[in-house]
Structure 1
């Protein structure tokens, strides 16, 4: 239960930060990406503020023997830049650049899409989230089919083929 409460609190703080900084507004994000036009540097400022906050969190975590909501730390083990990572990064960047949403801001925008006092057009958020969920389901189906055809070899998770 503690783990769920901490996850909820972290998600609420993250969503609130995205909302307060207007990063749920796709027009603001697209203006940041438009370096040749009417460029809006506010996203860079949000990132500049987020990096020291993340660094502080990692520094505090290094001082702890165990995490707050688990028995052991489980740092990522993958180090390879493989096709799956590159394709995912390309799809993420293309989606972000085309519509101004990525998963976090789109989910946060769902909460204010109906009652935004500034009149920001956030009506694309539900469609984006729906498309994202469909894409995740398609990838899960493909993964399952591939893993049935090419079972993993040992603990590395690499597929034969």
Structure 2
């Protein structure tokens, strides 16, 4: 049932992105560009999404448990650290330059949009590069094992 509900939720999300025209990179770039050609229409999408979320979140969290899961998944952290800021900066730069973020890019690629078909492999490459760099940074930050006693002076 989880796979079916995830698929239906994905279809609903993709449909919303398409109706809101967030799968059109030029529309997103026109929204993010506050110059004379600014297109504020995507602000209505954001306000609508926030409104739906605010209305439904309280109703949903009144339940003891979700309908299709064992427990509600809630964020465990609320702090703002360097990693979050760096990730936000990279995400914003990529979104502003390309006009795509992951959800709309995958939706547009599924529709055969040529820009998205170029963007998605680059996005996946960036995700892979992040995984490698993150693993190396975690390894570099972790304490190194002490040398064996046989190497000690004496």
Q: TM-score, normalised by structure 1?
A: 0.82
Which deviates more, 85-94 or 66-75?
66-75
Offset of residue 62 of structure 1: 1.2
> RMSD in angstroms over aligned alpha carbons?
1.6
Number of the residue aligned with 2:11: 12
Offset of residue 151 of structure 1: 4.1
Number of the residue aligned with 1:137: 128
Structure whose CA Rg is larger: 2
Can you give the 5+ residue segments of structure 2 that lack an aligned partner in the other structure?
144-154
Offset of residue 74 of structure 1: 2.5
The answer to whether 1:127 aligns with 2:126 is: no
Per-residue CA deviations over 1:48-107 (Å, capped at 9, x if unaligned) read 111111123312221110012221122111122111111110011101111111111101
Matched length: 143
The answer to whether 1:3 aligns with 2:2 is: yes
The answer to whether 1:102 aligns with 2:93 is: no
Can you give the 5+ residue segments of structure 1 that lack an aligned partner in the other structure?
114-121, 153-161
Q: TM-score, normalised by structure 2?
A: 0.85
